[in-house]
Structure 1
Amino acid sequence: MSTHQETPEVRRDILPIPDPQHVGLTTYDAKDPHTTYPPITMLRPPEGAPNVLIVLIDDVGFGAATAFGGPCNTPVADRLAENGLKLNRFHTTALCSPTRQAMLTGRNHHSVGMGGITEIATSAPGYSSIRPKDKAPIAETLRLNGYSTSQFGKCHEVPVWEVSPVGPFGQWPTGSGFEHFYGFIGGEANQYYPGLYEGTKPVEPEKTPEEGYTLNEDLADRAITWVRQQQALTPDKPFFMYYAPGATHAPHHVPKEWSDKYKGKFDEGWDVLREQILARQKDLGVVPPDAELTARPDEIPAWDDMSAELKPVLARQMEIYAGFLEQTDYEIGRLIDAIDDLGALDDTLIYYILGDNGASAEGTPKGCFNEMITLNGLPDIETDEFLLSKIDDFGTADAYNHYAVGWAHALCTPYQWTKQVASHWGGTRNGTIVHWPAGLAAKGESRNQFHHVIDVAPTILEAAGIPAPTIVNSIQQAPLEGTSMLATLRDGGAPETHDLQYFEMFGNRGVYHRGWTAVTKHRTPWLQDQPALDDDRWELYGPDDWSQAHDLAAEQPAKLAELQRLWLIEAVKYDVLPIDDRSVERFLPELAGRPQLIRGTTQTLFSGMRLLENCVLNVKNRSHTVSARIVVPEAGASGVIIAQGGGVGGWSLYAHEGMLKYCYNFFGIEYFYVAADEPLPTGDHQVAMHFAYDRGGLGLGGTVTLHYDGRAVGSGRVDRTEPLAFSADEACDVGSDTGSPASQDYGPHGNRFTGSVAWAKIDIGDDSHDHLVTAEDKLNLSLARQ
């Protein structure tokens, strides 16, 4: 807790706080006894300002964790709840980037330009992915008031055209008020081979999966190191830490010792699991005794209708997810224990938010082993027989797995629908725990007042005694749109202060007003349904209907019309309009109106560069050439010259056993190799790989020819290719292959080219078949990678 003595001169509504100006006697000689100046003081928040820790887990349904009646053990969440408070009606936006930007700014997601994920931004204000300068994030406000600030884990709020080594970095964490950042930029991360940044610099994990590496443990280690250092050096300075591990987003990666704890526990299937969860929820009091289990929609298959042969795989998917969530909770516990060991836990306001949205229904009705196969529009590759053959590999570094839709629905018990569906509580109601022993007297209680993620920032400011700033970095600030939760937290009988809230995501929309909700589901996450907006059917639910189980629209049309009008008023106020449910237009930058980083038909890259897929020319579905200027040492060369993607799919041009070699990795299922007929000559040379694409469709094969200084030295066939994307987070690297290896000829470490790479160049041909990619395929790809 801060021990700083507040002085009346501090103007905390203007940030940065203006420098104090000394006006008084100026002596000629510093030895003059009348020489006096006020001492330099270090900026600190007001007396009593707590440390703040926000933990935001990814893709967790309301009914997943044991703290809220779920099957996945979360003893750390349980312990915090016993000494803190459970929030049973806390809401998010139904999607990743929007929830995060709303939470970090205290404003509605459209109000800060995040009506969708960054990859489908448009030029409309509510959907631009650009945070307005008059809506500064809470981290910046706290930093400029004297807090130490840090972020660990996922950041998916950076506009896609700014995710590159040249920035700009204004919406990266270190440009958004966080003095320290360690994590990844994007929607998801491979838990064994993440693409990490420290600040804005790419860094590599220090261990391999074989050595026990997981991102969950790494993030906890880094956060513990940071908070120990911060408290050791400035114990009087409170910290603000935002810990967003990226778990439990797909891929569901976890060591077997975690998932094996759940062997056989899900063999009865998702329909029985929903009933079991609801019974536990009632016992815990996180739903009232009369809460009803909503009906399973027809779009979600019944467990009994699933193939008997496939059920062991389906059960294994859920075992792995449960282990993944338990491991995540455990690593969060290590961080909380470290804060406790420092003697700082009582003075730390903790928000433990179990999900930035409901559970993810992006895994298809039967789940998948490598979600990139499904996202590339090729689900038929993963037959039941294929999935059965991989049952022991789910959750390992060889997999990129996601569970079936039925499990997602079950983990949102007792509510309707899932992530992406902002109209219903299954997409937006997330179990949340608040723990602050020094500031909250109540222990082990629940709070049932309605709250929203935009209420977190104003709560922190009130707890710290810091006003919402009127000016930040010379920009007059718009008002916060959330309301402080402190009155609710301190008194379970306090009146509800957040009594009106709109929801919208991809046309799924709803409004809450004083217990009533009016909602309409426009589209289903895993289907291609896209009705006309005017054809959407609205539903109405009353204040006593906890789970939105009984539609009253036909009985009370006047009340429905009143709420529909309220939704429209809020939509106009917060830049929701025009509602954007388009597909193809949002994926073409020139139609969407957003900048495009990479243009043209030629791109030159240099050694040491690491670029995400959207920063590199697209070589899929067309002929292309990859060339490089290299120096081969006298001892011969080995290692990677240039590679893109990784173990779940990609390609690599490298030296192996002294020869130039090319590998095309088709989803980790097939590897196509082409090697030169003669060794690489020593000295300065230009090497190249030309891919002559088979015309006539998407994902076809081609003929590969290798060249030394323009002379053909080998050729071979690639029988089939990936049509849409190699991965969500693997990079294109020059001089090495970071992350998981694209070729089986080398490992994740020690693959750096032993000579030197002056440059590498990608040239694409004019025979692109990308016009055959459907808008639906593009939409599914982007949404599942967030």
Structure 2
Amino acid sequence: MDANRKDCRLLQVSALGLAVAASLTLPALAAEPTSQDKQPVKESEAKAPKTNIVYIVIDDMGYSDFGCYGSEIKTPNIDKLAANGLIYNNFNTCPLCSPTRASLLTGRDNHAVGMGSVANYDMGSASPDYRGRVKDSAATVAQILKSHDYSTMGVGKWHLAPVHQVTPAGPYDYWPLAKGFERFYGYLDGETDQYKPQLFYDNHLIETPKTPGYQFSQDLVDHAIQFVTDQVSITPDKPYFLYVAFSAVHSPLQAPKKYIDMYKGVYDQGWDKIREERFERQKKLGIIPTDAELTPRDPNVKVWDSLSSDEKRLFARFEETYAGYLSYADAQIGRLIKHLQDIGQYDNTMLVLISDNGGTNSGGENGSDDFVKTLNGIKPSVKELLKRIDEIGGPDFGAVYPSGWGMVSNTPFKGYKGGLYNGGVRDPLIIQWPTNIKAKGELRSQYVHVTDITPTVFDVLKIAAPENFQGINQLPIDGKSITDTFDNKEAATKHDTQYYALGASRSIYQNGWKAVAIHKAGQPFENDIWELYNLNVDFAENHNVAEEYPEKLKELKELWAAEAKKHHATLLSANELGAAKPSDAVNNRNSFTYYQGVGPINSTAAPSIKNRSYTITVPVTRADKSQSGVLAAMGGDTAGYTLYIRNNHFVYEYNLFGTSYKIESDREVPVGDATLKFEFIKTGLFAGIGRLYINDVLSGEVVMPKTLRGMLPMESLDIGRDRYSAVSKAYKNMNEFPFAGELKYVDFELQNDQKAGTKN
């Protein structure tokens, strides 16, 4: 028996019978060694008498995607954590990433702390529960543990600061270092390219590493290992809190080719059969009750057997990439665990592993090559995507899987990320603590909410959450400690009531009963139709019993209203969300002047040019005709705009997900001083005319019947270069194409005609 097969057999050791590997045909993955891996030291030689705390968060991963939760995806390192710790099958989160992370790190309700939705939406002071930030009255676990002499370190995704404040100059009030982390390495928005991430180190932006074969999952674990190594080497008696927030498996789905290729052919049988196989495996593992029923398939997802051969080939490749992405993240978790073992920091570490919400349906029927494209309502065809099938998983394709695979991810539940059925909020939770949790591989079925994790840590460490922190009165902790479940599988559920609210959606849970309100856009909230489920006997929310138990439904509706009022939660329709422009947004003005050398500016913090007239003026000085390069660029290779000089001509390009508007000046740019200007004149809703000027002389024009309506690309506004991916193919391989002359400044002037029908 070879080494891989021996490792595979080891996964069978657990009281639950976590023998996932025994039923699979794929080879197990070993943790990839790097130069940072250390030689083992004896546990007794380590000096860490106190308990370390590690949170690991997987992004956008559904209930069934770990091997130990019933998946065919190889997650051997995560499965070992489950086999040596506890696995929870009734763990619940918020339906989106920022709210879950806010509740995880504070132990408090996400609305109460100001994170009613993702951090991209800041509704201003009129909506205090939708501010895209964590209030100072809700100190994080990092802040509190730091005050108890813990080192605090974070890597990966933040997404807990208003993204309109993500600039080279802050403000930094809600960035990781302001929220208790002494060290941070990662990114601040909701997603980032895995090959060209927009990275922040502590409070400053850094360039993407140019290392051959670079991938962000490995990079963030490299830094986690470095942070821990530094801390235990210098202050070995000091415990630490480490927060590891993976991008995986949020879009873009990108991973090393060898991890994707190891799943070749696995998903050819399609999402319907894979979903049924996971369901049966979950029963065998005990993850779900033997009498649980698989929810009906999503009627908006095509039956796999009805698909064309081209559709099957394309859709299978999306899931091969997703599986490879998760397996690659698992390998990095294995590296981190091995390092903790090697330096004697394993047995005294309590490790908590979760997903932040369920699998997504944002890819729609066919999947997509760009997440922001889906937010703009643009749906690529199978024919368009099939031409690029070999690019899926690579650096030039921002893959989002079709919703059929999100349906599989959330097995056995219905619904997706962003919704309040269990498909959106029921997620994996694994807790391992070798020195103190004696049960190995056991299942726990108590209702647990994400707000319970940090109170559990406080309980473990015998720390009281302060009523006043740094002079600020604190919100009460909403979560309940679950330490009594560690060694008692029959422990009573302490968290018996939990309300949910997201935009126009709402639900309420109490003692196994769950009510969900279905809102129809444009209708008053009082007209919502409520459904009722008895999860005590209906694990997967299959049977709506609202008509059978009207009094119970009435009771829960009243309870929802009371809980929402208690936590200051409000409901917002889709067109209200994000409509406000908060006064503290750095781009809450119409005039901007940027100087050469300024760092990348988040798209949401950049001048908001959507649906309005504006000008961009750039005075330059060139010594000769050869001096060329980018003057200003916003976005990347999927969408954005760029101004540049090439071949001695002034060029403007606007890339609308493949539809390109381009003007090249009809005259050369003079050597010496020149004033270059682009003018957009709005002629209709998200439409207009673009004009180029050289020294106030009209030098080119283009009609632009369509411009971006929704969210801007998450790549930055850059001055004097085009970082990350290139907006224009004309300079794609020219290493950011920095301007070689003197760029005095880039001036934006915006007009207030967003609501006007036309402008002449």
Q: TM-score, normalised by structure 1?
A: 0.85
| Residue 654 to residue 118, structure 1, CA distance change in 2 (3 Å) | same
Distance 1:286 1:556 in 2: 28
What is the SS of the residue equivalent to 2:427?
A: coil
Contact 2:685 2:757 in 1 (8 A): no
Task: Give the C-alpha shift of residue 244 in structure 1.
Answer: 0.7
| Residue 220 to residue 671, structure 1, CA distance change in 2 (3 Å) | farther
Q: How does 1:691-706 map to 2 (within 5 A)?
A: 691-693=679-681, 695-698=683-686, 702-706=689-693
Task: Give the C-alpha shift of residue 434 in structure 1.
Answer: 0.8
Equivalent residue, structure 2, for 1:171:
174
Task: Give the C-alpha shift of residue 127 in structure 1.
Answer: 2.5
Q: How does 1:218-297 map to 2 (within 5 A)?
A: 218-297=219-298
Equivalent residue, structure 1, for 2:671:
681
State the Cα deviation string for residues 504-562 of structure 1 (Å, max 9, x = none).
Answer: 22233222222222223336xxxx68674423232232412211222222222222222
Equivalent residue, structure 2, for 1:724:
709
Equivalent residue, structure 2, for 1:605:
594
Equivalent residue, structure 1, for 2:372:
372
Distance 2:48 2:245 in 1: 28
Equivalent residue, structure 2, for 1:420:
418
Distance 1:149 1:561 in 2: 45
Q: Which runs of 5+ in 2 are unaligned?
A: 1-46
Distance 1:374 1:533 in 2: 31
Equivalent residue, structure 1, for 2:405:
407
Q: Which runs of 5+ in 1 are unaligned?
A: 1-45, 773-786
Q: How does 1:18-167 map to 2 (within 5 A)?
A: 48-122=49-123, 123-167=126-170
Distance 1:288 1:282 in 2: 6
2:459 aligned residue (446, 462, 465): 462
2:401 maps to amino acid? Y
State the Cα deviation string for residues 309-343 of structure 1 (Å, max 9, x = none).
Answer: 42221121111111111112212222222222211
1:738 has 2:723 as partner: yes
What is the SS of the residue equivalent to 1:571?
A: helix
State the Cα deviation string for residues 623-656 of structure 1 (Å, max 9, x = none).
Answer: 5432223332458423322111111112222233
Equivalent residue, structure 1, for 2:505:
508
Contact 1:660 1:680 in 2 (8 A): no
What is the SS of the residue equivalent to 1:410?
A: helix
| Residue 145 to residue 495, structure 1, CA distance change in 2 (3 Å) | same
Distance 1:476 1:599 in 2: 30
Task: Give the C-alpha shift of residue 118 in structure 1.
Answer: 2.7
What is the SS of the residue equivalent to 1:584?
A: coil
| Residue 719 to residue 561, structure 1, CA distance change in 2 (3 Å) | closer
Distance 1:726 1:510 in 2: 28
Contact 2:163 2:602 in 1 (8 A): no
Task: Give the C-alpha shift of residue 440 in structure 1.
Answer: 1.0
Task: Return 57-66 or 467-476, whichever deviates more.
Answer: 467-476
What is the SS of the residue equivalent to 2:440?
A: coil
Give the RMSD, CA atoms, in angstroms: 2.5
1:584 has 2:575 as partner: yes
| Residue 533 to residue 333, structure 1, CA distance change in 2 (3 Å) | farther
Equivalent residue, structure 2, for 1:28:
none
Contact 1:117 1:129 in 2 (8 A): yes
Task: Return 289-298 or 426-435, whichever deviates more.
Answer: 289-298
Contact 2:684 2:757 in 1 (8 A): no
Distance 2:280 2:118 in 1: 35
Task: Give the C-alpha shift of residue 241 in structure 1.
Answer: 0.8
Distance 2:556 2:652 in 1: 60
Distance 2:385 2:625 in 1: 45
What is the SS of the residue equivalent to 1:79?
A: helix
State the Cα deviation string for residues 183-208 of structure 1 (Å, max 9, x = none).
Answer: 11111111122211112211111116
1:557 has 2:547 as partner: no
Distance 2:567 2:67 in 1: 36
1:470 maps to amino acid? E
Distance 1:584 1:495 in 2: 42
Task: Return 762-771 or 444-453, whichever deviates more.
Answer: 762-771
Count of residue pairs the alignment pairs up: 708
1:756 has 2:756 as partner: no
Task: Give the C-alpha shift of residue 66 in structure 1.
Answer: 1.1
Distance 1:130 1:206 in 2: 29
Where in structure 1 do 4 or more consecutive aligned residues deviate above 6 Å?
528-531, 769-772
Q: How does 1:168-567 map to 2 (within 5 A)?
A: 168-207=171-210, 211-353=212-354, 355-379=355-379, 382-422=380-420, 424-522=421-519, 532-567=525-560
2:716 maps to amino acid? A
| Residue 532 to residue 111, structure 1, CA distance change in 2 (3 Å) | closer
1:710 has 2:696 as partner: yes
Distance 2:665 2:303 in 1: 50
State the Cα deviation string for residues 251-306 of structure 1 (Å, max 9, x = none).
Answer: 21223222111122222222222111111111211112111101124344433444
Distance 2:378 2:423 in 1: 28
Equivalent residue, structure 1, for 2:22:
none
| Residue 206 to residue 315, structure 1, CA distance change in 2 (3 Å) | same
Distance 2:565 2:609 in 1: 42
Contact 2:115 2:132 in 1 (8 A): yes
